Amino acid sequence: MKKEKKHKKTRAGRMVELPDLSSICRIDFPTDVDVKAAVDEYQKDPSVEYASPNYLRMVSAPNDPYYISGEGNPNSSPSQWALYDIGLGPTGEGKSGWDLEKGTSEVRIVIIDTGINYKHSDLKNRTDLSLGYNFVSSGTTTPEDDNGHGSHVAGIIGAETNNGIGVAGVNWDCRLIPLKAFDAGGSGSDWDISHALIWAVDTAEADVINMSFGGSSDDSMIADAISYAATSDCVLVAAGGNSNSSTPSYPAAYAPVIAVAATDPYDRKASYSNYGTWIDVSAPGGDTGPGAQYYLHWVFSTYRYVGYYDSYTWMAGTSMAAPFVSGLAGLIRAKHPTMEATGVRDLIVNYSDSIDVYNPGYAGMIGPGRINAFFALGGLGGRLLPQKLEVDPNSDTNTAVVNGIWQIIGTATGEGFDHYEVDYGSGSAPSSWITIEPHNDVPKVNAVLATLNTTGMEGLLTARVTINDLPTTESRITLHAGSLHITTLVSGPDYGPNPFNPNKGSIMIKYELSNNSALYIYFFDITGKLICRKFYQGGTEGGKQGINRVYWDGINDFGEKVANGVYLFRIAGDYRTIGKGKIIVLK
């Protein structure tokens, strides 16, 4: 009998043919059977399109679990720095994405994860259990969260907002649909994940699907399920992975999926985050690496039942970055109900803020930038981008230096855009301005807005961009024109003992600085992979004028002792390398 083809109408009214997944089946073997050998035999059968093991994948949990309950105020801005980071600050001044769209319950966001704490006060009014399902437990269909990961992800996407308690979600009023495909240990099979994807399309009729999990295996069954969901006009979002590797992680690396890397509060690639040309965009995920001020650099959100339902915690990972993108996708779908998934994806990716300046060495490897909800939703405004990474990223002082031609780079766009203007003045708060780009009617994103010849100028200069002559759209940036005292090594670096044994002590690195300066020391393995970075504040040991003595204990960013081998280090200050050396670890 001839199979009837399945079709679906997209939001734009276009009819598409859905891939046929009805012939996929699972075969369970006795424990003494070699699964790989059995798969090889099936692949030889011409009637079998493909065969693969039913791999287990892991939710992209924090690589250094550190949970804190009941500490701090969840409504305070430090706990929710990430919302400000992506253009979702306070409303009412026309500078927040929430001034343009807060979401609607018509938008369905499916979360394939460990379930959800559906009795949590910040989640219960947003969770639709009638469309949810538990693919893991045979005794119940209720997708209750026994891990915490799924509830944390759900809160980032759509915790009930403006309700006087807890945290704010990216999307104030979306419908959260939990599909439990991962168990209490955070493990889920490709079979359950694939069926969750099909359920998300056929039963939940998802607008957005969040997948905060991944693995290195490219599986045909999941690839087909992803294709099925993409053809059905779902926006697909997945975590890029937490291995600090360029190796693709799946499902993030599949073409229809928005692959998300993680950033810290200063727009640096998180120390654990994967990277590569397969990454589509970045979003806040927090950081567990050097310089992170404990949980304040992580992401705060809802959590599972821990003796009481209304629990919260901090986590870090690309698992936390992905739901910021999913929440934004839901806002865009609410504002543009007929826009197809590819259009939503383009707005998210193309209107992100370039952060290459903060991530030397990762240009093109963490997407075009970190998401900006304000611009993706059509916000009218300007944003000037820094040109050089500040030596101390925790400082409010921009010590970037320009000599000669200053290319003023930024964004000038939004609904109702007519023109932009660029001016500059002396000092950090100029009393008068000189116009250098008087009336440009071409909107731009992460592009050169104007140029200024700074030859012969000395001291601080401030540039500003204004859209349609509206002061509320203004953005400024300040840097130093001319010469600036540059830090140098007077002597060193000297270091020892070398070789050294981390089991018995640390290696000392000694050097003399010409002046006080904030410094980084980066440690790499012999392949050039960054394994550890240490920051030293200017004026303190490691960054003070004169002799400095700092120590490395042979521990990498993940708290592990490094293996025997050769390691390289680089001392960096004032945007450049000022010293380097080679260390041998021998236990």
Q: What positions carry a catalytic annotation?
A: 113, 149, 319
Asked if residue 325 lies in contact with residue 372, where contact means CB atoms within 8 angstroms, the answer is no
> Which own/partner pairs from 539-542 qualify as long-range (CB within 8 Å, at least 24 positions apart)?
none
Q: DSSP of 304-371, one letter per residue?
A: --SSSS--EEEE-SHHHHHHHHHHHHHHHHHH-TT--HHHHHHHHHHTSBP-GGGSTT-TTTS-S-B-
Q: For the beta carbon of residue 580, count every other beta carbon within 10 angstroms.
A: 14
E strand or H helix that includes residue 44: helix 35-44
549 by DSSP, 3-state: which? strand
Distances (CA, A) of 75 to 68, 151, 165, 301, 364: 15, 18, 7, 11, 35
What is the chain's alpha carbon radius of gyration, rounded to the nearest angstrom? 26
DSSP annotation of 214 reads E
CA distance 149 to 58: 11
Distance CA 161, CA 169 (A): 6
Residue 291 is given by DSSP the state T
**Omega prior to 251 cis, within 30 of 0:** yes
Within 8 A by CB and 6+ apart from 32, the residues are: none
Beta bridge partners of 302: 312
Residue 249 burial (C-beta neighbours within 10 Å; 0-12, 13-18, 19+): buried
CA nearest to 395, candidates 578, 537, 297, 513: 537
Query: Strand 519-525 and strand 565-573: pairing?
Result: antiparallel
Partnered with residue 301 across adjacent β-strands are: 313
Say if residues 299 and 156 touch (Cβ distance below 8 Å). Answer: yes
Q: Which of 342, 325, 224, 339 is nearest to 279 (CA)?
A: 325
As a whole number of angstroms, the distance between CA 228 and CA 226 comes to 5
3-state DSSP assignment of residue 230: helix
* Cβ–Cβ under 8 Å, residues 57 and 187: yes
β 530-536/299-302 pair status = unpaired
The four Cα atoms 215, 218, 220, 221 give a dihedral, to 10 degrees, of 0
d(CA 248, CA 464): 40
Q: Identify the three-state secondary structure at position 295.
A: helix
